[in-house]
Chain A
Amino acid sequence: DAKTTQPTSMDCAEGRAANLPCNHSTISGNEYVYWYRQIHSQGPQYIIHGLKNNETNEMASLIITEDRKSSTLILPHATLRDTAVYYCIVRDAGNMLTFGGGTRLMVKP
């Protein structure tokens, strides 16, 4: 059973922030939220992960709700090269990554 629910697809204008939601209502206390993306014809690429607190790195920000049942990946200034499938994954220590369907983000000029 999928642990996460994401919209199938989203569009975003170039230069604007892309906000990608993810629902993980059955997340348990020791499970982390991971985000990966897969650009066409490439292997998945790690973006960011978090447990409870919001996280930010050079690629993106991750906002996790207080009840941890959902999160949002934010690409602050989307570029055409951010067009990809974005996967939200819930896992605990030692477990392998289980990919769901992901969100196909299309950044448009």
Chain B
Amino acid sequence: SAVISQKPSRDICQRGTSLTIQCQVDSQVTMMFWYRQQPGQSLTLIATANQGSEATYESGFVIDKFPISRPNLTFSTLTVSNMSPEDSSIYLCSVGGGGTGKNTEAFFGQGTRLTVV
């Protein structure tokens, strides 16, 4: 199993500003994933963060808006840039979930609840 810590757990931010969310895992992992969950909605994958290379973004998400860092195998950050009220969501960090061996379950952090005013 993996224990994931996200910081901050919640924040209220002014529009036009940026927020950096941190994700710390208690073990080394190759890939880390960032999801967004808009109010009342399901989870949508933003990007996959690989150590030593640029993040891979899903359709509809761009690096300028959601820059990601992955300095080592246990840590990643997601920045929500130039925020608007539409960015108000829960942002979740996840590890695991790849492959079909017995250790294929994905683990999620508790999420960061962002409100943009």
Q: Which residues of A line the B interface, CB within 8 A?
A: 32, 36, 41-46, 49, 51, 87, 92-102
Contact = CB atoms under 8 A, between A and B. Distances in A.
A42 B90 CA distance: 10
Given A46-B106, A49-B105, A94 B99 contact: yes
Contact of A42 (B94, B98, B110): B110
Contacts of A92: 100
Given A49-B105, A97-B106, A99-B42, A43 B111 contact: yes
Interface in B101-117: 104-111
B25 to A, nearest CB: 13
A44 B44 CA distance: 12
A44 B109 CA distance: 8
Q: Is the interface of A mostly helix, strand, loop or mixed?
A: loop
B105 A99 contact: no
A97 B107 CA distance: 11
A101 B38 CA distance: 12
A51 B48 CA distance: 25
Contact of B105 (A46, A93, A94, A101): A46
B43 A93 contact: no
Given A49-B104, A99-B43, A94 B98 contact: yes
B97 interface: yes
